[in-house]
Amino acid sequence: MSDGKISPQEAEELAGCFTTHARDLFGYACWLTRGDQALAHDLVQAAFEAAAQKWAALRLLAEEQRGGWLRRTLAYTAVSGFRREAAFRDLLPRIEARYRKIQADPPEQAFSSIALERCWRIIRGLPDRQHAVALLRWGLDMKEVEIASVLGIDEKTVSVHLYRVRRRLIAQLGPDHTFPADGPEGTSS
């Protein structure tokens, strides 16, 4: 089964396993998903797809052991999905806030646009490393640890670069800057 296909005999055995366990697994999946039948069907399908991949070993187990393996696999798949869903739910407000349409305030928008253009003009004139750090932080919204990893430098070095860039922006923008008066990225200096 190295090419991902199973033999006709194994397919027949797997079909028998499906006939034996699918109904019980579906009930278990419905219980796990609080009655979401579509998700329950998907979980049963995922469990049997996993079984097909491991059939060479599973076919040697007793029927009760196969049923236990299928239930555990289904449960692990469900938990994994619930975790992904929870992570997405946690991220959703941040995504929504980033793309939320704001009330139009033409003078404020014009001022912000001009100030933003001035910021990017200043950033384009920075030394290479500071330019890269600023671009990754404010252009791509990366965290300091991510920037450090991408550039292969220490996280503290990234923090120092961001601090220096902010100081330069504040100095060159004057009263037009929108940075808080404290240290880098909202921390005390």
SS3 assignment for 43-57: HHHHHHHHHHHCHHH
> Could you say which of 42, 72, 99 is where a domain stops?
99
| Count of domains for the chain | 2
Domain contains 3: no
CATH of the domain at 115: 1.10.10.10
The pLDDT of 19-31, averaged and rounded, is 92
Q: What's the one-letter identity of residue 104?
A: A
pLDDT of amino acid 34: 85
Domain boundary among 47, 66, 99: 99
What confidence tens digit (pLDDT) does each residue in 49-95 have?
Answer: 999 999 999 999 999 999 999 999 999 998 888 787 777 777 777 77
Cα 149 from chain centre: 17
- Burial of residue 28, with CB atoms counted within 10 A of its CB: 0-12 exposed, 13-18 middle, 19 or more buried: buried
Q: How confident is the model at residue 22 (pLDDT cuts 50, 70, 90)?
A: very high
Residue with tokens 């504040």: 170
DSSP label at residue 76: H
Residues 72 and 123 in one domain: no
75 and 55 assigned to the same domain: yes
Range of the domain at 157: 106-186
- CA distances (Å), 61 to each of 25, 54, 78, in order? 18, 11, 23
pLDDT at 98 over 80: no
Same domain? For 94 and 16 the reply is yes
Residues 29 and 88 in one domain: yes
Phi, psi dihedral angles at 57 (to 5 degrees) = -85, -40
Residues 92 and 110 in one domain: no
- For residue 157, the number of C-alpha atoms closer than 13 Å in the C-beta half-sphere is 13
- Please give the residue that has the higher pLDDT: either 22 or 34: 22
pLDDT digits (tens, 9 = 90+) for 27-52: 999 998 888 899 999 999 999 999 99
In terms of average pLDDT, the best of 19-23, 79-83, 109-113 is 19-23
CB 151 within 8 A of CB 158: yes
